Amino acid sequence: MRMTVIGTGYLGATHAACMAELGHEVLGVDVDESKISRLSSGEVPFFEPGLPEVLERNIQAGRLDFTTDYARAADFATVHFIGVGTPQQRGSYAADTRYVEAVIDDLVPQLTGDHVIFGKSTVPVGTAAALQERADALSKPDTTVEIAWNPEFLREGYAVKDTIEPDRIVLGTCGVDSRAEAIAREIYAIPLARETPFLVTNLQTAELVKVSANAFLATKISFINAVSEVCEIVGADVTQLADAIGHDDRIGRKFLGAGLGFGGGCLPKDIRAFMARAGELGADQALAFLREVDAINMRRRQRVVDLAREELGSLIGRRITVLGAAFKPNSDDVRDSPALAVAGQLSLAGAAVRVYDPEAMDNARRVFPTLDYATSLDDALTGAELVILATEWQQFREMDPAHAGELVQDRLLIDGRNVLTTEAWQAAGWRLRALGRG
Ligand code: UGA
């Protein structure tokens, strides 16, 4: 099938490349010239394992191209995906849907014939119906434009796998006379042949599925982090507790990783946008608990700073190494990163903070130019009075405590992600503090 993918950020670039990988002819569209020229030359502007190979292969095969020209997009296909961002609005919790609206405004007046637009961006419930009205008002006579919603569930770091082999496909349609389901079945023929669950709903259900999934994941993480606060006071071990409750398959062990909490471009903004939308709909009480989920999450960052102060006394001038800047491993994304928030707070409190991350250094430097950035893990550890493991990269999990001990000034470490083997580090003479482990 021929299709366009409008918006070539994390979601759009991945979707475009993976749709081409499934055999479709894809045109990626963005207003950002530099993004388009990098993608056209086979360069992925962010770190995502496996994506550069998929991009390169499909450009070579002639199935994938990129443009900034909406007129070309309008002529190229009758199926379009929207993958532009919906960031948090300035000064409000609500999502900013102006980029999604701009796609309709720029694309629809140029369309001729019968088109279906699949929204993939995470939007407040009601957006798809509003976009349908907007599209109806802008489309030419004798042209039809149907809006459907097809939320995306990909995780950074696993984006290719999650797109090509999704664990479910959700499609919201307007119901009567919808062409979207038949088209989606063709687009996703390969995953559907593997019996991927396919759920067809109305527009508002599909929109809500996405934010509910992220709100649930955020709640699960904050639940274990709240329990971890109690564990710390009474000397219980939250990791053992999570293992024990996780064996109940109604609960499950995934997303019970206690520690510095969640960050990134999705979970924090999505729970806030969900609360804001519920408020607009007169259902603010229903989601009031998400405010607590957010607060628990933010307290974890403060807790690490407090632990550093407990261990070092005054922070002024103290040499602290923060391992990790990305919001999670296998990503170079530093949006709302707990690691970088901790590094920033320590620095503002007067500590001499040195940061190291295997992939996110450039992005971190742009956000926090005043921090000191190490050139390697060894360089980061050298002379440290305190080491904080803030993002659980494999390289950090596999650190040798004896070797690290020779580099630092003091063998003092806060495991902000509960991933190190306490005994091995203690045996090498380290004093270890961890969140929720007494
Ligand atoms: C999340 C969802 O997992 C995806 O399904 C969704 O498609 C995506 O948002 C989105 O809306 O686009 P992502 O932001 O890539 O994906 O990251 P996650 O793997 O969900 O991790 C989120 C945060 O939770 C990270 O900061 C991670 O360190 C933290 N986390 C995760 C924990 O603190 N503990 C855990 O046990 C698991």
User: Quick one: pLDDT at residue 127?
Assistant: 98
Residue nearest to atom 9 of ligand 1 (CA): 266
User: Quick one: pLDDT at residue 185?
Assistant: 98
In a domain, 420, yes or no: yes
Starting at the edge strand found earlier in the chain, the sheet holding 319-323 runs: 372-373, 352-356, 319-323, 386-389, 412-415, 431-434
Domain match, 332 and 399 both? yes
Q: What is the pLDDT confidence band of residue 176, given thresholds at 50, 70 and 90?
A: confident
Pocket perturbation via mutation, ligand 1, pick of 267, 269, 298 by most ligand atoms within 8 A of CB: 267
Domain match, 269 and 184 both? no
User: Which ligand 1 atom is at minimum distance from the Cα of 11?
Assistant: 12
In a domain, 219, yes or no: no
Helix (H) or strand (E) holding 180: helix 180-187
User: What are the pLDDT digits (tens) for 343-366?
Assistant: 999 999 999 999 999 999 999 999
Residue nearest to atom 31 of ligand 1 (CA): 255
For residue 267, report the distance from its CA to the centre of ligand 1, in Å: 7
Q: What is the pLDDT confidence band of residue 270, given thresholds at 50, 70 and 90?
A: very high
Domain match, 136 and 29 both? yes
In a domain, 212, yes or no: no
In the predicted model, what is the mean pLDDT of residues 234-243?
97
In the predicted model, what is the mean pLDDT of residues 173-202?
97
Ligand 1, CB cutoff 6 Å, lining residues: 122, 152-156, 214, 217, 221, 255-257, 259, 261-264, 266-267, 327-328
For residue 157, report the distance from its CA to the centre of ligand 1, in Å: 10
Domain boundary among 178, 196, 214: 196
User: Which ligand 1 atom is at minimum distance from the Cα of 255?
Assistant: 36
Domain boundary among 142, 176, 196: 196
Domain match, 403 and 290 both? yes
In a domain, 220, yes or no: no
User: Quick one: pLDDT at residue 19?
Assistant: 98
In a domain, 208, yes or no: no
In the predicted model, what is the mean pLDDT of residues 192-197?
97
Domain match, 192 and 231 both? no
User: What are the pLDDT digits (tens) for 399-422?
Assistant: 999 999 999 999 999 999 999 999
User: Quick one: pLDDT at residue 6?
Assistant: 98
What's the mean pLDDT when you consider all of the chain?
97
Domain boundary among 146, 178, 196: 196
User: Which ligand 1 atom is at minimum distance from the Cα of 270?
Assistant: 11
In a domain, 320, yes or no: yes
Any long-range contacts for 97-102 (C-beta under 8 Å, 24+ apart)? Answer: 97/123, 97/124, 97/127, 99/7, 100/127, 100/131, 101/131, 101/134
User: Quick one: pLDDT at residue 71?
Assistant: 97
Listed in sequence order, the residues at least 6 apart from 68 whose beta carbon sits closer than 8 Å to its beta carbon are: 29, 30, 31, 32, 33, 36
Cα separation, 99 vs 84, whole angstroms: 6
Give yes or no for residue 9 having a pLDDT over 90.
yes
Domain match, 20 and 131 both? yes
Q: What is the DSSP string of 282-331?
A: T-GGGGTHHHHHHHHHHHHHHHHHHHHHHHHS--TT-EEEEE--SSSTT-
In the predicted model, what is the mean pLDDT of residues 288-309?
98
How long a stretch of residues is the chain? Answer: 438
User: Quick one: pLDDT at residue 150?
Assistant: 98
Domain match, 49 and 105 both? yes
Whether 414 and 394 have beta carbons less than 8 Å apart is answered as no
User: What are the pLDDT digits (tens) for 197-215?
Assistant: 999 999 999 999 999 999 9
User: Quick one: pLDDT at residue 438?
Assistant: 72
Domain match, 255 and 399 both? yes
Whether 414 and 389 have beta carbons less than 8 Å apart is answered as yes
174 in catalytic set: no
In a domain, 205, yes or no: no
Domain match, 191 and 281 both? no
Residue nearest to atom 6 of ligand 1 (CA): 153
Domain match, 133 and 245 both? no
**Domain count along the chain:** 2
In the predicted model, what is the mean pLDDT of residues 113-141?
98
Give yes or no for residue 130 having a pLDDT over 90.
yes
User: Which ligand 1 atom is at minimum distance from the Cα of 264?
Assistant: 14
Domain match, 240 and 127 both? no
Domain match, 183 and 292 both? no
In a domain, 189, yes or no: yes
Domain that holds residue 154: 2-196
CATH number of the domain within which 112 lies? 3.40.50.720
